[in-house]
Amino acid sequence: MSLENDTRNLRDQYKGKPVAQIFDELSAVRLQLEVAIENVERDFNAGTIVRTANNFNVAKVHIIGRKKYNRRGAMCTDKYLEVVYWDNVTDFVKDQHRRGREIVAIENNLGRTRKLSDKRFAQKTTLLFGSEGHGLAEQTLKLADDVCEIESFGSTRSVNVGVAAGIAMYEWVRQCALEERNL
């Protein structure tokens, strides 16, 4: 595909290149951040999270439970990063801890959460998001290493989970990658 005929939503440096080459080039500079989604009920939200994860070039996206999500909402960005599927949260958590990763759940209104602005992230962090209506399962929250909430200032108690994922990913990037990469 020629550069001028490439209509994909890609940064200019990737225009005209095949998917496999783009995947390999991104893999060489991936961040250590990983993102997990547990049974997000609205497929579009999961697609939005995957697209945002691609934007930040996270190492992996984990989908726990239901495997279907709206790839259209991801705008084909799932082709450029590793997506791993888990049948249950227990196996996912075992994998994360075996690899020395801290699992930080993003949840709101639990009365036991830490403010996201107070969180100091480890390099090897996996951000965990649940469904908008029901949030993360209680078992999942108990297995997380930390639980943070995004502070709210208006009348609404929370933001859309896709938006929350973008905010949390950016906060990790701000703390752990921006100075390092001189972005």
pTM for this one?
Answer: 0.90
> How large is the average pLDDT for residues 50-56?
93
Question: What are the backbone angles phi and psi of residue 104, rounded to the nearest 5°?
Answer: -115, 110
- Write down the mean pLDDT value for the chain: 87
More confidently predicted of 3 and 123: 123
Whether pLDDT at 104 is above 60: yes
> How large is the average pLDDT for residues 29-50?
84
Listed in sequence order, the DSSP H helices in 43-160 are 43-55, 89-98, 138-143
| Band of residue 33 on the pLDDT scale cut at 50, 70, 90 | very high
CB-count exposure of residue 101 (10 Å: 0-12, 13-18, 19+): buried
| Band of residue 43 on the pLDDT scale cut at 50, 70, 90 | low
Q: Order of strands, edge to edge, in the sheet holding 34-38?
A: 82-86, 60-64, 34-38, 125-129, 102-106, 146-149, 114-115
Q: Map out the domains of the chain with their CATH numbers.
A: 1-30 (no CATH), 31-181 (3.40.1280.10)
Whether pLDDT at 41 is above 90: no
